[in-house]
Amino acid sequence: MTIEIAAKPQDAHTPSDLLARVARIATQVARVHAEDVDRKARFPTEAIEALKSEGMLGALVPSSLGGPGVPFAQVAAMCEVLGQACSATAMVFAMHQIQVACLVRHGMESPALRDYMRELVERQWLIASVTSEVGVGGEMRTSVTSVVREGERFTLEKDATTISYGAQADDLLVTARSAPDAAASDQVLVLLRKGDFTLERKGEWDTLGMRGTCSPPFKVTSRGDARQILPVPFAEIASHTMVPVSHVVWASLWLGIAAGAVSRARAFVRQQARSRPGSVPPTAVRLAELSSLLQSMRSSVHDVAVEADRLMGSGDADALSSISFALRMNNLKVSASQQVVDIVHRALLICGIQGYKNDSPFSLGRPLRDAHSAALMVGNDRILATNASMLLVLKDD
C-alpha cells in the first residue's frame, strides 16, 4: 500500500468553507449595495470584485488546472445564498459559472483552452454569454450568424439581443453556425478573448427587474485564433452542460430570491406577534402556508441539482443526451420560475403595505420585479413547447 501525500487542498479551500465565504460576501457586500445596484441599474461591482478576490470565478476549474474544483451542486448553493441578498449579483455569478462549466466540461482536450482555464483561475476573468440573437429570440439551438474560418484564424459578427454584463465582461462565449454554409442548428461555441472583440451597444437596459445585470443589446465584431472554437458541436455542449447547468443555477438563485422574500415575511409576522403577545397574528397562518411552499421549491431544486451533478459527473453521455433528462431539466426551469413569483407575491400579501412600500424594511418590490424575469429567460412557453413534443415519444418505461 502506498500512502499518497499529494498536495491536499487546505481546509480553507474545502467546498463548504468556500460556500461560507460566498455567504459572507452575500450578506456583507452584495446585500449592502443591492438597493443602489437596482435603483441605478448599475453593475454590482463591489460584490463581483469580492467574489474575484476569493477566487470564486474559477470555482469550477479542476485542481489539475489549478482551480479548487468545487462540485457543481456547491456552485448552485452559492447562487442560492447570493440570490437571497442581491439577484443581480447572483445572476452575474450564475451566468459566468455556466460559461466556465461549458469550458471545463468540453474544452479539456484543447491545449489552448486548458491554458485559458489556468489563466482564468489566476486572473479571475469574467465571461459573458452570447446565445440570444436578433431574429431567433431565445431559441438557443439556432443561429443566424456563422464563424468564418480563414486558416488558423476566424472572424465572427453577431447581433445579440441581450448580453448580461457585456460591457463589464473580460471575455465572451458566443454561439454561431459552424461555417457560412452550415445549417441553422449546426452550431459551435466560440471563446472571444478581450482585445479580440468590440461591442457596439444598440440599446438600453432599463427594465422592470434584474436591473444590475446590465444586459443591453450589442453588436459583436470579432476575430481570433481558431483554437478558441470549442472542439465539439454546440448541440452536445447544450444538452450535456449548458442547458442543465443553466436551469439548475437559475433555479437555485430564484430559490434564493424566494427564501429572501419569505424571511422578510417571517420578520414581519414576528414583529406583529411581539406587539401583541398572547394572540397569534392572522398572517401567521399564511406564513405557515408559505413556509410549506418554500420547502417544496427547495426540495425540488436541491433534488434536481444533485441529480444533474451526479449525471454530469458520471460522464454518461447517453443519459445526458436522453429525452428524459432534458425533460426533467426543463421541468425544473418552468416550475421554479413560477414558484418564485408565487412565493414572493404571497410574502407581499403577508407584509401588506409595508411590503408594497419601497422604503420599508419589509419592502418586496425588488424581489418581485426580479422574480418576473424568470419566466422570460428563455420563455416558458418555448420550453413547454419543447417538452410537449418530447412527451409525444417518451414512454416513461
Partner 1 sequence: MNESIRSILKEHGRLAIEVETLAEAADLYQAGMTSHASVNVMLALESQFDVEFPDRMLRRGVFGSIASIREAVEELTAGR
Ligand X SMILES: Cc1cc2nc3c(=O)[nH]c(=O)nc-3n(C[C@H](O)[C@H](O)[C@H](O)COP(=O)(O)OP(=O)(O)OC[C@H]3O[C@@H](n4cnc5c(N)ncnc54)[C@H](O)[C@@H]3O)c2cc1C
CB of 271 to ligand X, least distance (A): 33
377 binds, among ligand X, partner 1, none (CB under 5 to 8 A by kind): ligand X
Nearer to partner 1, 157 or 236 (CB): 236
Applying CB under 8 A, which of residues 32, 108, 349, 390 lies at the interface with partner 1?
390
Residue with cell 443589446: 217
- Would you give the end-to-end CA distance of the chain in angstroms? 45
User: Which residues, numbered 130-169, are part of the site for ligand X (CB under 6 A)?
Assistant: 130-132, 137-138, 162-164
Of 283, 288, 264, which is closest to residue 272 (Cα–Cα)? 283
Applying CB under 6 A, which of residues 111, 135, 195, 379 lies at the interface with ligand X?
379
CB of 244 to partner 1, least distance (A): 14
User: Which residues, numbered 125-144, are part of the site for partner 1 (CB under 8 A)?
Assistant: 141-142
Q: Is 331 in the site for partner 1 (CB under 8 A)?
A: no
Q: Is 387 in the site for partner 1 (CB under 8 A)?
A: no
Applying CB under 6 A, which of residues 213, 239, 283, 339 lies at the interface with ligand X?
213
Contact of 205 with 215, CB cutoff 8 Å: yes
Q: Which three cell numbers stand for residue 7?
A: 498536495
Residue with cell 453577431: 158
Contact of 245 with 72, CB cutoff 8 Å: yes
Cα–Cα distance list, 72 to 2, 246, 311 (Å)? 30, 11, 11
User: Judged by CB under 8 A, which stretch of 56-64, 229-237, 296-304, 361-369 contacts partner 1?
Assistant: 229-237
d(CA 10, CA 24): 19
Contacts of 111 by beta carbon, 8 Å cutoff, 6+ apart:
227
CB of 106 to partner 1, least distance (A): 15
Q: What are phi and psi of 127, to 5 degrees?
A: -110, 130
Residue with cell 456552485: 75
Q: Which three cell numbers stand for residue 349?
A: 400579501
Residues at the site binding ligand X, with contacts judged by CB under 6 A: 95, 128-132, 137-138, 162-164, 210, 213, 215, 373, 376-382, 385
Residues at the site binding partner 1, with contacts judged by CB under 8 A: 141-142, 178, 182-186, 233, 235-236, 239, 317-318, 321-324, 386, 389-390, 392-397
